[in-house]
Amino acid sequence: MKKATICFLLLLQGIVRTQAQAPVDLTGLQPVSGAKATAGNNVIDISWPAGTSEKARLLLNLDPQQPLFQSIQLTRAGAFREVAAGLDPVFVLTLGKRDLVSQNGWNIFFDRVPLKPFQAYPAELDKRSARISSSGARIQIVISRISAPGFEGDIEITLYKGSPLFNVAAVMATPVDSTALLYDAGLVSRKALWKNLSWSDVDNVMQTITPVAASPAKNQEVKYRTIIGENPGGSLALFPAPHQYFYPLDEAFNLKFIWHGSNYRDMVKGYGIGVRQDLQGDRRFVPWFNAPPGTRQRLNFFCLLSTGAAEQALAGVKRFTHDDRYPALPGYKTMSSHFHIEHVQDVLGHQPIPETPDFVKVFKRTGVNIVHLGEFHGPGHPKGPAPERLKELRTLFEECERLSDTSFLLLPGEEPNNFFGGHWMNFFPKPVYWIMSRKPEEPYVEQDPHYGTVYRIGNKEEMLQLLRTEKGLAWTAHARTKGSTGYPDKYKEEAFFKSDRFMGAAWKAMPADLSQPYLGNRRILDLMDDMANWGHRKHVIAEADLFRIEPHFEVYAHNNVNYLQLDQLPTWKNGWQPVLDAIENGRFFVSTGEILLPSFTVNGKGAGETVRLPGGKADIRLTIDWTFPLQYVDIVSGDGRQVYREHIRLDTTEAFGKKQFRFPVSLPNRTWVRVEVWDAAVNGAFTQMVWLQ
């Protein structure tokens, strides 16, 4: 009996000890990842290659009474230095109601979520278990579970072989329909505070403070979306995904996307640093993020380690976005489209106009060679009276010419929103005077002694005639949402849409959904494929659809760019027909800036060209230049009825690379093919179609 009692007590002691240890599964970690991990005494010790001969290391504590990040380390000359210690990840979810009824379901933009009831909750981490796995050059640590009212999921920490970069995510789902959300996140010090905190202000000057535990949390306006904690052993830069974190708005305001201090939002105990969203957005239409039921929303931020000072850490972050600049690419010129600057109204309103307005400086600094405007979107007199309209156009043309030079073209354009249905953009290869109305007694075209040829347009037939006469282009703006809900589908059989003057549509990452590995909810990429399957040779350019542009705005996060195949920039004096030719013929690719596609061919033919595929065999060659580690490439094709996708993982890639990939694929009976590429921060690029015979 005594022996049995002793055995029972030993067994009970073993159960208690087992229950006190959160189970850790290491079986999914593959040697090819280069990572090494052990687990014991409720601590995971994991290290990974972090660059040239250096390693990074995390000690993760699964004891519920201890901070998760027990220690964060990085080697210098082979010796580990502790960059930070005693940190907990924190997430605050703000949950509102999505309007799925009044417009177009989850594609809605015209929603004002913060004007309806909403609630905010800090997520609670319950460290029950952990598992470590790897795929290619990615190492993932999953810690279960994390929850907030209506949401449940896991913490996922992703390490990237070859880089001192890691991502921290609360991956959570809700069963509740019609949910819109925002999230704030960061790291809270449970023990010693950072020695210093630093960031770049909007004038690109580093600012540094010494944190004080009693200092209340402050929302900070910064440049590069980054805050850096610095200790004697090094620095940790914390920042969001450069585009994914920024849901679509009309304005690119800098809304103080960084926070630091104690008791953030009266929900986060302790002193922390992190990323945040302003609940009111730009005070116009504020849709937040979609969170459809059952989707795993990835609420995340990045950390980049350095053994140097804060300036060195920030320099490392800036490399991922080329210093928030679209890099020059031989044989290409960059173009951004759809900006309602309304510069003409400032000029005609006798506002002080500097020699170089700030918006021009911003575009030049961002590496944009060509800007296509969308003026008179509200202000102005598009429909006349003629004297006001023609004066406004002349002012637009004169200012565009004045502000253009050998490396920068400011080009006139409008969002007419007449005649065709929905909203659409126009683009002429030279100044064209036209009025968006015509009375029966007025001529379609006449010669004006002051302005030369002037057109008056009264219907869609005349609009198409004008586009043909002046070699202009048109395309659907923000298709299938906003003022173009239902378009171009509703007019796909119209003569103007089938015409080669109607280029297609424009892409913007709208709406936003954090559960997806790509931007934009496939609204426009699906339309791109649909138009090709309709039998039309249409294209999709990038559009920003933004209003004011100022130096302190967060322009890079909200912008995108077209890389047009142009050896040189046209001059204003000689017209910009080559720009329209490149767009019309599909000789360009779209990018958020981090991924470039210098070359793309199918059996030797490039985007916009036609190629025969003997036996349906295609040899696709794609050169990719990237910053963040790549995630995947999709080869998308169609046969006039169905869309096909070949999904190829690129998770063996490390940060910062350039490589030509070759993909031999079978495309039987296909009539078109294109390629899109996405990275670990959900930045992307996509080509136009190669047409198949």
What's the 3-state SS for 465-520? Answer: HHHHHCCCEEEECCCCCHHHCCCCHHHCCCHHHHCCCEEEEEECCCCCECCCCCCC
Whether the pLDDT of residue 46 is over 70: the answer is yes
20: pLDDT confidence band, cut at 50, 70 and 90?
A: low
Q: H or E segment at 72?
A: strand 69-76
Q: Report the C-alpha gap between 338 and 524 in whole angstroms.
A: 16
**Which comes out higher in pLDDT, residue 38 or 4?**
38
Which of residues 350 and 332 earns the better pLDDT score?
332
Q: What is the pLDDT of residues 531-577, one digit of tens each?
A: 999 999 999 999 999 999 999 999 999 999 999 999 999 999 999 99
pLDDT of 323 > 50? The answer is yes
Distance between CA atoms of residues 42 and 174, nearest Å: 30
For residues 83-98, average pLDDT: 98
Cβ contacts of 481 within 8 Å, gap of 6 or more: 104, 107, 108, 109, 510, 511, 523
Residues of the chain within CATH 2.70.98 domain(s) are 24-323
Average pLDDT of the chain, as a whole number: 96
Q: How confident is the model at residue 11 (pLDDT cuts 50, 70, 90)?
A: very low
CB 525 within 8 A of CB 124: no
The answer to whether residue 409 scores a pLDDT higher than 70 is yes
Is residue 329 predicted with pLDDT exceeding 90? yes
Quote the radius of gyration of the chain (alpha carbons, Å): 27
pLDDT for the residue numbered 265: 98
Query: Per-residue pLDDT tens for 148-193?
Result: 999 999 999 999 999 999 999 999 999 999 999 999 999 999 989 9
**Higher-confidence residue: 352 or 692?**
692
**pLDDT one-digit tens code per residue, 251-302:** 999 999 999 999 999 999 999 999 999 999 999 999 999 999 999 999 999 9
Please report the pLDDT score of residue 10 as a whole number: 32
Nearest to 632 by CA among 668, 686, 672: 686
- Give the residue-averaged pLDDT of 109-116: 97
Is pLDDT at 18 greater than 70 in this prediction? no
Confidence (pTM): 0.96
Residue 5: pLDDT band by 50, 70, 90 thresholds?
Answer: very low
Percent of the chain exceeding pLDDT 70 equals 97
Decide which of 2.70.98, 2.60.40, 1.10.15, 3.30.2170 is the CATH code for 24-323.
Answer: 2.70.98
Query: What is the torsional sign of CA 265, 232, 162, 316?
Result: positive
Mean pLDDT computed over 314-341? 98
Residue 6 has pLDDT above 50, yes or no: no
Q: What is the pLDDT of residues 354-394, one digit of tens each?
A: 999 999 999 999 999 999 999 999 999 999 999 999 999 99
Say what the pLDDT of residue 13 is.
32
pLDDT of 8 above 50: no
| Residue 350: per-residue pLDDT | 85
What residue type is assigned to position 475 of the chain? W
pLDDT for 351 beyond 90 = no
**Contact at 8 Å (CB) between 252 and 555?**
yes
